[in-house]
Amino acid sequence: MATKKTNTKETTEKISTQVGLSQEIIEREKKLKELVTIKLRKDRNNPRPDLFVAVNGKTFQIKRGVEVEVPLYVAQVIADSDAQEEFAADYMDGLVYDYAEKSKDVK
């Protein structure tokens, strides 16, 4: 029966790489869990309820108009949501403009 000869240098490098990646992931997760202060805008003309955010099973209810501390990953989710909402509004405005321009030609 033949045995496979392993190269200890290659094995050591693989383990070092895996440990390094694990450490990098741990550091990134620590950073994402750091608390940051945010304040959601309160609009008198269009009152909205508190913001509910759920990330990987953890839930947060954030009151508008008050400074609160949340983990960085929650602040990033809120920022991404706001950016997407703005993009959608711009897209809809473009569709309305295109429709208005095309309807001028129909008359």
Half-sphere exposure of 53 (CA within 13 A, CB side): 20
pLDDT at 18 over 90: no
Q: Is the pLDDT of residue 5 over 80?
A: no
What are the φ and ψ backbone dihedral angles of 67, each rounded to 5 degrees? Answer: -75, 130
Position 1 pLDDT exceeds 70: no
**Cβ(60)–Cβ(35) under 8 Å?**
no
Give just the sign of the alpha carbon dihedral 7, 12, 13, 18. positive
- Percent of the chain exceeding pLDDT 70 equals 80
DSSP element (H, E) containing 82: helix 72-106
d(CA 2, CA 11): 20
